[in-house]
Structure 1
Amino acid sequence: MRVVFSFPHVLGAPGIGWTAWNQVEGLTRAGHEVHVVAAGLARPVEAASVALTLSVAGRRIPHRAVGRDRAFVWHDRRAARRVRAVRPDIVHLWPLGAGAAATAGHEVGAAVLREAPNTHTAHAWEVVAAEVARLGLHDRVRTAHTANAEHLRMEQAEWDAATAILAPSEPVAASFRAAGFADDRILRHRYGYRPSSRRVRPRTGDRPLRAVYVGLGEPRKGLHHALAAWKASTASRGGELTVVGRMLPGYADLLRDDLGLPGVRTVGFSEDVSSVLAASDVLLLPTLEEGSALVTYEAQGAGCIPLVSTAAGADLEDGVHGFVHTPGDVDALRWHLDRLQIDPALRTWMSASCLEHAPALTWDVAAARLAEVYAEACGRDTVDEHEFAA
């Protein structure tokens, strides 16, 4: 298929930039014709063509230098011109500012698909605000998930203009259904991971558990729940918990005592997450709101057992490749830690199950699923604005 892939951020940068870059690479390896329009590149990309919208003479211009909203509008107009020139089958849009490109896509008869890397924005804000308030951090923590009416207006316009929403997990799909989107406007695909060259084996041995948390230290990701469960578990008696990721200052202050417990160490941001996962038995991710956390794919590829909430969007079978709990259920997470601490045979079996599952979690498999979704979307008419609640 011929695809115009519009990404108004830096393709290949950590976070959604890494996700989008892998989508382009996977589609290209599968033989699809992908035309990229991106604000900038953090790493080389294989594609039929690449247009950079915030670069001059090979140097990237930061969004803030021209104003974020103005930068998004400029990118959107450039993407629209590319759509009209290429006349693709699919216009794949990432947030934000995708009105002109979506219009151009409909004009040339393309299916316009809007990526939803997180749950519906209003849902995400509600969940995060409730947890920030519960922790008494209302005036001390501001995150990317702090409510912003103008931001929501822009996103709503993008969703309205799309043929369908690309949902990488069931929590994302459910949040859009709850917001009034019809089932046939939500297309399920998935994310993936890149296998490491490192040889990994199932975890063996009767020894204290080694756990790791990977992610931004913020209320949304539930690190406070991970620490509470760890502190109450038998695994904390001689075991190790490594916290990998940048910490929001106000949140770090709240967790200072727990982060200073024996066996708990914080290492900050790391670009070598695969090594940390390969050295750990379990991944703790009791997130309260998420799209589909890439670290849950990487963990299984490293034989590291995910202990995650249902909100993590993990692709796994509960009790086989990992354990799943309801967001905020510290007792369940504590019990999962205890089970793997007291039963080394279960730990080995579940680690081996992760490694067996890993080949189904790669970005190449994800690209094949995305292509199936593209094909499904190509048979649809442009969006009927009366099919769903605005």
Structure 2
Amino acid sequence: MRELPIHVRAIRTLITMPCEDVGVGRTCRSILAASRATGLACDLSTSAFLGARPTGLPVNSVIPRGLSRLPFGLFRRFAEPALHRRFLAALGDGDIAYLWPSVPVSVYERLARRGIPIVAESVNTRMEAAKPVLDAAYAALGLAPAHGITDDRIAEQNWRQSLCTAIFAPSPVAERSYVGTPVADRIIPASYGTWVPGSLPRRPLKTPDASVVFVFVGAVCVRKGAHRLLEAWRRPPKGAVLRLVGDIEPAIRARFADVLASDSVSSIGFTRDVAAELLRADVALLPSLEEGDPIATYEAAAHGLPVLASEAGAGRIGAETGAITLLDPDDIEAFRARLAEFAGSEELRRDRGAAARQAALGYDWSRVGPLRFTRLFEKFGWT
């Protein structure tokens, strides 16, 4: 493992699952790359690292690069124990263990016994808070819950967090989920963000016969409020189309088959070229019921799109700047009225899109990545 500067505490990061170049893996590497660029001593350990390695960030992976695109299940049995042994052996006096959700309880326990500070990333709201919200949503649809949160997983998460020195909560909704818990005083407010493009192509004015494109980026699922969006879209705004960019949950596909098959809706499943979809769109939507701090909102704002979102979907940028237009996904008539308002006014779209773009500049990874560690060090008086 490469040596790090010794004038500050080293942030030794562990993400047990393969660190992909999308989703959680991309978020993790963006935070670390931005922080390393400011001089923070940090590195990353993972089973496998997929995609380009950020300049200057030491990455320690078990699975050789040439094999990293093969199914992880082929290597998991030996890769994870080897990774954890290396990670634990590399930690020295004064180091901080920065753990992401895939890290098993046994690693937390070993770190706690050694007295090493453990800082965890709360990617989403606490499971114990999220489960009743999602249970109620599935029940309202007459469906069995498909969110995967069990009592055993809740108990395991609670035990992990009880061993932590600090926990990063990326949004106000995530923060509130810790109120009244034994670890409430360990929460450090943080946020996610995006790499904000330096410039954008100018969007042409809409011709009278051109459709207004509303885009939804992310898993098309109950958790992200897709059922409320599709219910509202049973009566779509005049001249508007809906573009779904993400895999569709089977229950959503079955329940809203008629809406999904309509001429005003198109879907492409998962894509890595989200920027292309955003540049072709006019308005972004994210009516989530539960989130951590959705990257999709930051990306849409950074591309100059007005964003209509629930409080959870608006995330930290919505709470702090007011640049995201809030909506209540459970009020279907108000939801429809808001869609029609934005479909009918190019001036409103451009106005709110410009405000979102300006706000996004404050959430570039270069700013929010290192800020979380500044707050961490200040909280504990670390240097």
TM superposition shift of 1:167: 0.3
Aligned to 1:279: 280
Q: 1:319 to 1:5 in 2, by over 3 A?
A: closer
Superimposed CA distance per residue, residues 204-251 of structure 1 (whole angstroms, 9 cap, x where no aligned partner): 557543201111122111112112223335x2x221111111112232
The alignment-based identity, stated in percent, is: 25
Paired AA for residue 51 in structure 1: N
Counterpart in 2 of 1:341?
343
- Please report the TM-score for the alignment, with normalisation by the length of structure 1: 0.85
Contact kept in structure 2, 1:112 and 1:164, CA below 8 Å: yes
The aligned length equals 369
The answer to whether the aligner puts 1:17 opposite 2:25 as a matched pair is yes
**Letter paired with 1:126:** P
Task: Name the SS for the 1:35 alignment partner.
Answer: strand
Tell me, which stretches of 5 or more residues in structure 2 are unaligned? 1-7
Q: Alpha carbons of 1:349 and 1:165: their partners in 2 closer, same or farther (altered >3 Å)?
A: same
Stretch of structure 1 that moved more, 304-313 or 320-329:
320-329
Measure how far apart 1:350 and its partner are.
Answer: 0.9
1:200-349 maps to which residues of 2 (within 5 A)? 200-201=201-202, 204-205=205-206, 208-233=211-236, 235=237, 237-312=238-313, 313-316=315-318, 321-349=323-351
Shift of the 377–40 alpha-carbon distance from structure 1 to 2, 3 Å rule, reads: farther
Code of the residue aligned with 1:17 in structure 2: it is G
Gaps of 5+ in 1: 381-390
2:5 aligned partner: none
Tell me the residue number matched to 1:384.
none
Letter paired with 1:114? A
Equivalences for residues 86-125 of structure 1 within 5 A: 87-99=93-105, 101-102=107-108, 110-125=116-131
CA distance in 2, matches of 1:324, 1:265: 24
For residue 103 of structure 1, report the CA deviation from its aligned partner.
5.3
* Residue aligning to 1:136: 142
**Contact (CA 8 Å) 2:45, 2:59: kept in 1 or not?**
yes
Deviation at 1:305, TM superposition (A): 1.0
Distance 1:318 1:28, change over 3 A: closer
Q: 1:48 deviation in Å?
A: 5.6
SS in 2 for 1:176: coil
| Matched position secondary structure for 2:131 | helix
On the 8 A contact 2:306/2:350 being kept in 1, the answer is no
Structure 1 residues 286 and 221, CA gap change in structure 2 (3 angstroms)? same
Give me the whole-angstrom Cα distance separating, in 1, the residues matched to 2:295 and 2:217.
10
Question: Secondary structure of 1:284's partner?
Answer: strand
- Equivalence for 2:358: 356
Is 1:4–1:92's contact at 8 Å kept on the other side of the alignment? yes
Q: Deviations over 1:153-183 (max 9, x none)?
A: 33222101101211000111111215x1454
Shift of residue 41, structure 1, vs aligned partner: 0.2
TM-score, structure 2 length as denominator?
0.86
Specify whether residues 227 and 203 from structure 1 end up closer, same or farther in structure 2 by C-alpha distance, changes over 3 A only: farther
More deviation, 284-293/325-334: 325-334
The DSSP-based 3-state class of the residue aligned with 2:318 is coil
Query: How far 1:320 sits from its partner (Å)?
Result: 5.1
Q: What is the root-mean-square deviation of aligned Cα atoms in Å?
A: 2.8
- Kindly state the Cα deviation for residue 308 of structure 1 after the two structures are TM-superposed: 0.6
Q: Determine which of 32, 52, 64 is the counterpart of 2:61.
A: 52
Q: Does 1:193 align with 2:194?
A: yes
How many Å apart are 1:341 and its aligned residue? 2.5
Offset of residue 26 of structure 1: 0.9
Task: Supply the distance in 2 between the matched residues of 1:317 and 1:346 (Cα, whole angstroms).
Answer: 20
User: Aligned match of 1:80 in 77, 85, 88?
Assistant: 88
Q: Does 1:3 align with 2:11?
A: yes
Per-residue displacement from partner, 1:122-179 (whole Å, max 9, x unpaired)? Answer: 22222222222221231xx73xx3133443333222101101211000111111215x
- Separation in 2, partners of 1:211, 1:109: 50
Between the aligned partners of 2:263 and 2:71, the Cα distance in structure 1 is 42
2:61 & 2:321 partners in 1: Cα distance?
45
Q: Name the CA distance, whole Å, in 2 between partners of 1:45 and 1:98.
A: 26
1:27 aligns to what? 35
Code of the residue aligned with 1:331 in structure 2: it is: E
By percentage of residues, which structure has more strand? 1
Partner of 1:321, secondary structure, is coil
Identify the range of structure 1 (282-291 vs 364-373) with the bigger mean alpha-carbon deviation. 364-373
Structure-2 change in CA distance of 1:120 and 1:73 (3 Å): farther
Alpha-carbon distance in 2 for matches of 1:293, 1:94 = 16
| CA distance in structure 2 between the aligned counterparts of 1:39 and 1:288, rounded to whole angstroms | 32
Cα displacement string for residues 321-345 of structure 1 (whole angstroms, at most 9, x for unaligned residues): 2211234232332222122233332
**Matches of 2:233 and 2:283 in 1, distance apart?**
12
Q: Is the 8 A contact 2:100 2:121 kept in 1?
A: yes
Residues 125, 177 of structure 2: 8 Å contact kept: yes
Name the SS of the counterpart of 2:312 in structure 1.
helix
Q: Determine the C-alpha separation between the residues in 1 that align with 2:244 and 2:94.
A: 44
Name the amino acid aligned to 2:59. Answer: V
- Quote the Cα distance in structure 2 between the aligned partners of 1:334 and 1:173: 30
Q: 1:339/1:81 Cα in 2 relative to 1: closer, same or farther (>3 Å)? A: same
Q: Could you tell me which amino acid in structure 2 is paired with residue 7 of structure 1?
A: I
**How far apart, in 2, do the equivalents of 1:378 and 1:59 lie?**
41
